[in-house]
Amino acid sequence: MKFSKIKSFAKINLTIKVLGKYKNGFHKIESLVSKISLSDEILIKEISGFKNKINFTGKFSKSIPESNTVSKLLNLLLDKNYIKNKKFQIIIKKNIPQFSGMGGGSMNAGSILNYLIKKKIIKVSKNDLIKIAQSIGSDVILGLFNGPIIVFGKKNFKILKKKIKFHLLIIKPNFGCSTKTIYSHHRGLTKGMFINKPIFKKDYLRNNLNNDLEITAFKKFPILQKIKNFMQKLENIYFVNMTGTGSTIIGYFLTKNAALKAKKKLENKYKNYWCIYSKTI
């Protein structure tokens, strides 16, 4: 049987507002999320045998544990009897850095789940689909939709009909940020910004978007603040934000040429950091 190819796109948080806390200690957030053109590449096919075969390759494949989002997804589908007598070989080329705030592992699981549904390998109701995704990880559900999406709290989300169009300059230092650590050290709450607001009105996004978690991440890793400060001075920059819990900082531009021109200056300043051009999709 031949492999099927899947593109597993990275996600970015254009904004994160921390609104409160649930009884279980998890934070209630509001976030505007978009997929971008950067993607992991997944090969998948059914195989005979008693075990799934999952392998990771590529620049960012180092130290991925045996128990990961993809293995957890397949085990859960087996336990819930969605997959019977089926095993898979999956090869994932990791182009999305780990601990970057771009949801690489979660998007892998979401993309594979989406593939299994579209190919009618599994049948699942919408409510059960959401439960499965959330059982694997809070961001997995984002991999099921093309977006952009506004996430409200733990279970509510709104898929936007209008695309968000930005050209992106993405930089990640040679360290990552732990989601658990950043959230556990975060203090303070803010109000949401998307309920009945004209988010596509001229300059609304630039004037209102921010990531509340930057305060905690920048305190722990001051270099992230320095990178953002440098990027804010780049020519034709629209705005700059950290995505997720870090450590990736993203500059937003209105044109590809402006982003590529700024990329040369950023690479010259931070020669040893991972830096790429991408765009929202």
Query: With the C-alpha atoms ordered 225, 163, 150, 41, is the resulting torsion angle positive or negative?
Result: negative
CA-nearest of 177, 194, 184 to 245 is: 177
Q: What is the CA radius of gyration of the chain?
A: 19
Cβ atoms of 24 and 6 within 8 Å: the answer is: no
DSSP helix/strand/coil, 237: coil
**CA dist., res. 265 & res. 207, Å (int):** 25
**CA dist., res. 130 & res. 126, Å (int):** 6
CA-nearest of 256, 270, 208, 242 to 99 is: 242
- Catalytic, 139? Answer yes
**CA dist., res. 250 & res. 171, Å (int):** 6
DSSP helix/strand/coil, 1: coil
**CA dist., res. 7 & res. 51, Å (int):** 24
- Catalytic, 212? Answer no
- State the catalytic residue, choosing from 139, 172, 228, 263: 139
- State the catalytic residue, choosing from 11, 17, 93, 228: 11
Give me the numbers of helices (H) and strands (E) for the chain, helices first please.
8, 10
Q: Order across the sheet with 239-242: list the strands.
A: 239-242, 249-253, 167-172, 274-279
Other Cβ atoms less than 10 A from the Cβ of 180: the count is: 9
What residues act catalytically?
A: 11, 139
